[in-house]
Amino acid sequence: MGVTRLNHAVLFVRDLEASVAFYRDMLQFAPIEDLAGLTGAAFLRAPGSSNDHDLGLFEVGSAAGASGAGRSTVGLYHLAWEVDTLDEMARIAGSLESAGALTGASDHGTTKALYARDPDGLEFEVSWLVPADRIDEEVLAARRSIRPLDLDLERARFGGSTPGGVGVSHLATSS
């Protein structure tokens, strides 16, 4: 049997408290209380997740240099976290923008995406996937280019409270 999904990610961070606060306040990740108190580490769970934890944070201290991944070294580019609705994406976009963490927003056709950086400059994505039954020729054609995301337009088109197609973007290429 092959891999079925990402269970969790682990990040090295300079300031554990600042990183926990960021992921809690921006993405509503909740610290796992029965794992609290481990020196220099925190474990957080995404809202609605059934995982033991979705994010592990390990403090390496303020003297740690910035990640050179993609600029001067190989390494992970970003993680993508899915949201259920475009309304939730809009709420997160506002929070990230207010915090000065939002770095971009793209329309990939079947996926609508926000890009942001955490307190250590590590990039992540927040995405909403078009439900399989809403993938039409226009959505498929949009996969051939990356366009700026007009979140208000997408909310009007698909409905702000429409549940996203969790993990179904591959269906668009199988037909």
121-137 pLDDT, tens per residue?
A: 999 999 999 999 999 99
Question: What is the pLDDT, as a whole number, of residue 34?
Answer: 74
Question: What is the pLDDT, as a whole number, of residue 170?
Answer: 53
CATH of domain 1-62: 3.10.180.10
Phi, psi for 74 (deg, rounded to 5): -75, 160
Q: Would you state the CATH architecture of domain 76-175? A: 2-Layer Sandwich (3.30)
Tokens 């682990």, located at residue: 10
| 1-62 and 76-175 have identical folds | no
Q: 125 in the Ramachandran plot: left (φ > 0), alpha (ψ -120 to 50) or beta?
A: beta
What's the rounded Cα separation, in Å, for the pair 167 and 40? 33
Residue spans of the domains in the chain: they are 1-62, 76-175
What's the rounded Cα separation, in Å, for the pair 144 and 9? 29
Task: Determine the 3-state secondary structure of 85 from DSSP.
Answer: coil
**Pairing, β 9-13 against β 55-59:** parallel
For the chain, what percent of residues have pLDDT higher than 90?
A: 74
Q: Please report which confidence band the pLDDT of residue 158 belongs to, taking 50, 70 and 90 as the band edges.
A: very high
Taking residues 145-150, report their average pLDDT: 95
CA separation (Å) from 125 to 73, 138, 168? 21, 23, 17
More confident residue, 33 or 7: 7
What's the rounded Cα separation, in Å, for the pair 22 and 90? 17
Q: pLDDT by residue (tens digit) across 11-68?
A: 999 999 999 999 999 999 999 987 666 789 999 999 989 999 999 999 999 999 999 8
